Amino acid sequence: MVGESTQYGIDDILTLMARLREPEYGCPWDLKQTYQSITPSTLEEAYEVVDTIEKADYPHLREELGDLLFQVVFYSQLAEEDGFWNFADVVHGLTAKLVRRHPHVFPDGTLSSRRAAGAPEEAAIKASWEAIKQDERAKKGKLGTLEDVPLALPALSRAQKLQKRAAGVGFDWDSRVAVLAKLEEEVVELRQAFTDSELNANHGAAQQKLEEELGDVMFSCVNLARHLKCDSEGLMRAANRKFERRFNGVEKLLAQQGKALGEVDMLEMQAAWEQQKRDEA
C-alpha cells in the first residue's frame, strides 16, 4: 500500500493514464473517450484555471492546473495508442520550439547555451519572436497572415488576435485616438441602422444590417482595447463580474425591504442599482 507521504511524479500520472485506458481492466468511461469527446472538458478546465487566478485563489490553482495537465496527458495517451506520438514527444517539441523562439536567451540554439550579460531591447525581442513564428507558419504551409488563428477561440479573443496579426504587417491605425474616432463612426452607422430598422418594412434585411453594424461596433471596441494594451476578453469578464455583483446587491437590498425582483418596477430597481454603485464608491 502506498503511504500518504508518497510524492508522485510525471511518470506516475502517465502510468495512471495508461491504466485507465487498459482495454480489459481500465475505466469504462475513460475507454469510451476520443479526442473530440474530451475537448469540452479541456475548454472547461482552461477556463477554471483563469477563473481561479482572477479570484486570486492561488492555493486552489494547483488543483486546477493539475486538471488541465491531465487533459494533455489524456490526449497524449490517445495519440500514443493511435501511433502518432506520445507525451515525451510533446515535451520535446515544446522545449525545442521555445529554445528556437528565444535566441536572445539561447544564442546557440541549445538549452545549455547562454547569452552575454545585459538585457536585450524589448522591441528587438518582439520583432525576432514574430519573425520566427512567421517562418514556422510558412514551413507548415500556412502563408496567410490570418490563416492559423484558431476558430475555437472566444470571439473577443479571436478578434484581438486577428487585429494583432494584421497590425504585425502594418495594417493598423497609427494612434488610439484614430481607433476611438473609428469606433464613434461605427456607432453613428449603428444608430442609422437602428433608425432604418424601425422604419423599414423589410424587417429581415433591416435586422441583418443592424446586427452587422453592431458587430462592427464590438470589433472596434476590441481594437480600442488592444491599442490601450488591455485584454478585451479580460475586460468583458471583469464587466460581467461587476454586473453580477451589483445585480446580486440589488436583489439583497430589495429583499431587506421585503420586496422581490419581478414584483417591483424598473424605477425601484434602478434606484437600488444606483445605491449599490454608491456603496461601492
Cα–Cα distance measured from residue 149 to residue 159, given in angstroms and rounded to the nearest whole number: 10
- The whole-angstrom separation of Cα 47 and Cα 41 is 10
Measuring CA to CA, how many Å separate 128 from each of 111, 135, 154, 226? Answer: 18, 11, 27, 21
Q: What is the pLDDT of residue 138?
A: 81
pLDDT digits (tens, 9 = 90+) for 215-240: 999 999 999 999 999 999 999 999 99
Give the C-alpha separation, 114 to 254, whole Å. 63
Percentage, residues of the chain above pLDDT 90: 79
CA pair distance 213, 206, nearest whole angstrom: 11
Q: From CA 248, how far away is CA 251, in angstroms rounded?
A: 5
> Residue type at 184?
E
Q: Under DSSP, is residue 271 helix (H, G, I), strand (E, B) or coil?
A: helix
pLDDT at 197 over 80: yes
Amino acid at 257: Q
- For residue 203, pLDDT over 80 is answered with no
pLDDT band at 71 (very low <50, low <70, confident <90, very high): very high
3-state class of 261 per DSSP? Answer: coil
Query: Average pLDDT of the chain?
Result: 93
Reading the block at residue 96, the C-alpha cell is 525545442
pLDDT band at 134 (very low <50, low <70, confident <90, very high): confident
Average pLDDT over residues 110-130: 86
* The three cell numbers locating residue 234: 479580460
Q: Percentage of residues in the chain with pLDDT exceeding 70? A: 98
Dist. CA 210–CA 155, nearest whole Å: 19
Residue 270 has pLDDT above 90, yes or no: yes
Find out whether 179 and 153 touch, Cβ atoms under 8 Å: no
Between CA 62 and CA 74 the distance in angstroms is 18
Per-residue model confidence (pLDDT) at position 201: 64
pLDDT digits (tens, 9 = 90+) for 74-101: 999 999 999 999 999 999 999 999 999 9
Q: Using alpha carbons only, give the angle 75, 76, 80 rounded to the nearest 5 degrees.
A: 120
In the structure, what pLDDT confidence band is assigned to residue 253 with cuts at 50, 70 and 90?
Answer: very high
Residue 200, classified by CB atoms within 10 Å of its CB into exposed (0-12), middle (13-18) or buried (19+), is middle
Residues 62-76: what's their mean pLDDT? 98
CA separation for the pair 107, 120 (Å, rounded): 12
Mean of pLDDT values over 121-141: 84
